[in-house]
Every structure is written in structure tokens, then in C-alpha cells.
Chain A
Amino acid sequence: MKLEICNYSGYKIYPGHGKRVVKIDGKVHIYLNSKCQRSADMRRNPRRVTWTVYYRRKHKKGAAEQEVKKRTRRNVKFQRAITGVTWNEILAKRNQQPEFRKAQRQDAIK
């Protein structure tokens, strides 16, 4: 059992409902009911017809709003060089081993 989706309204079509129409250019349209079919025949754009799924998506009605709110911005920590010291020098100082520092201090004391 395959659930089709109405080409016009976007609703699900359960078995036993709906109508399939093949147009002259060979394209197949699946309509949920005659309301959808007649609107399509009248050339009404579903994106302007208020009750269709396409309209609601275009005008962002309903559930889409909540999804967008959940995404919050994360602050990215970014480290950079300062005017007196280049980034390489900062890294070198950071990565010094404690024994190396101890040795430096010993030298300084002497």
C-alpha cells in the first residue's frame, strides 16, 4: 500500500481515494478529490490557495517556525595574534615543556 501525495493540495491520498489523470504532455497528476482537480483545471496556483500545503509552506505557517527557533547561534572562540607577538611565538610559549621553563629560570637566577 503506497500513500500518494496530492499534486495540488499536498495531502496524503489513502487507497480508495483520489484520481489519477494523464495530461496531453504525458505528465501524471494525482488529485485527492474533485475540489483539487477542479482548482487545478481552473489554473489556480496552489501557492495562492490558502488551504493547500504549498501555501502554508510558502507563507511559513505552522510547524516550520518552531524548527527555525531551535537553531541558536554558537559563539566561536577564535584565537589570534596580538600586535607585539606573532601567532607562532604565542604557540611556542604555550607549548614549552615545564622542564625547559625550569631550566630557563635556573639560568636567569644564575
Chain B
Amino acid sequence: MNILGKLLPTTIDFITYRSFSMTVPLYHLQKVSRVHVVDNSKLALDGNVYKRMPRIIHCYKKNNNLTRTRLTAGLGDKVLLAIKGQMKKAIIVGCQQRIRKPNVPQFDKNNVVLIDDDGNPIGTRILAPIPAFFRTRGDLAKIAAIATTFV
């Protein structure tokens, strides 16, 4: 009864005012985020059609402030995927998250390109447009080399 007494006023307030604010969805890419592979490699083509969408298992990001559970990844970050029952590394090539930097576009899907352990892309072509800053960053140059269109 005591608990009820404490609860009641707050619930009534909630009902009468109905004031709670919602942030815009943040669209962070983190563990278990579903992702769309944009390669033309065999794994990519099979993985997109498999019973489970390719998912991020781990984000390789050198940010020590973040705890393990809140590791998020953005454009140009390396990531571990689970595709078709296998584990494969990948680089994020387009994300739904709105990035407030000049000339960085927002994509309708979270796109990803498969990579092997050395950083070389597995496929030979990328089927979606890629942000233009991939050309200037040295570690992403291999992906920019096989890209068809830039945004």
C-alpha cells in the first residue's frame, strides 16, 4: 500500500501532462546490428540471401572511453560480421546515421564491404555509391580503388 501511495501521484501526473520527449533514432551501428553487404564476392551474394541477415559481432575501434557493451561503429570503421554462419571482417561503407560533417551523405541502408585480415577487399566491385572521403584516407584506399561511384 505504501508503494502504491508513492506511485499514484506520479502516474496521474504522467497521464494528465503526457510530456515525454523522444530523441530522433540514433542509428548507431553496434553489436547485433543488421547490415547489407555491397560486394560482388560469392560470400556477399549468398550472405544477403541467407536465412539471417549479416550481423555485426564486434567493432574494432580504438576508443578506450567506451565500455565493451557500447562499442559503436560508423563510416569507415572496421567491423566483424557473422555471415552465413562464418565470421568475416568488413568495413562500413554507408550508414543510416546522420553525420554532421560537410559532404558526408546519409544512406538508406547500412552498407558494408567484406575484407580479409590484411585489409584487402574480397570482391572485385562495389555495387553502391561510396562516400568521397574514402579516396583521401590512406587505410581506405583499397576499397576506393574497386568502387564504381562516389557520392
Contact = CB atoms under 8 A, between A and B. Distances in A.
Interface of A: 15-16, 19-24, 26, 28
Given A26-B149, A28-B129, A28-B151, A21 B102 contact: no
Interface residues of B, number: 15
Interface of B: 94, 98, 102-109, 127-129, 149, 151
Contacts of A20: 103-106, 151
Contacts of A16: 102
Given A28-B129, A28-B151, A22 B102 contact: no
Contact of A26 (B98, B102, B106, B128): B128
Of B98, B104, B129, the most chain A CB neighbours within 10 A belong to: B129
Contacts of B94: 22
**Interface secondary structure of B, over-half rule:** loop
Nearest to A24: B108
B24 to A, nearest CB: 10
Given A20-B104, A22-B94, 19 more contacts: A16-B102, A19-B98, A19-B106, A20-B103, A20-B106, A20-B151, A21-B107, A21-B108, A22-B105, A22-B106, A22-B107, A22-B108, A22-B129, A26-B127, A26-B128, A26-B129, A26-B149, A28-B129, A28-B151
B88 to A, nearest CB: 23
27 contacts: A15-B102, A16-B102, A19-B98, A19-B106, A20-B103, A20-B104, A20-B105, A20-B106, A20-B151, A21-B105, A21-B106, A21-B107, A21-B108, A22-B94, A22-B105, A22-B106, A22-B107, A22-B108, A22-B151, A24-B108, A24-B109, A26-B127, A26-B128, A26-B129, A26-B149, A28-B129, A28-B151
B130 to A, nearest CB: 9
B147 to A, nearest CB: 12
Contacts of A15: 102
Of A23, A26, A28, the most chain B CB neighbours within 10 A belong to: A26
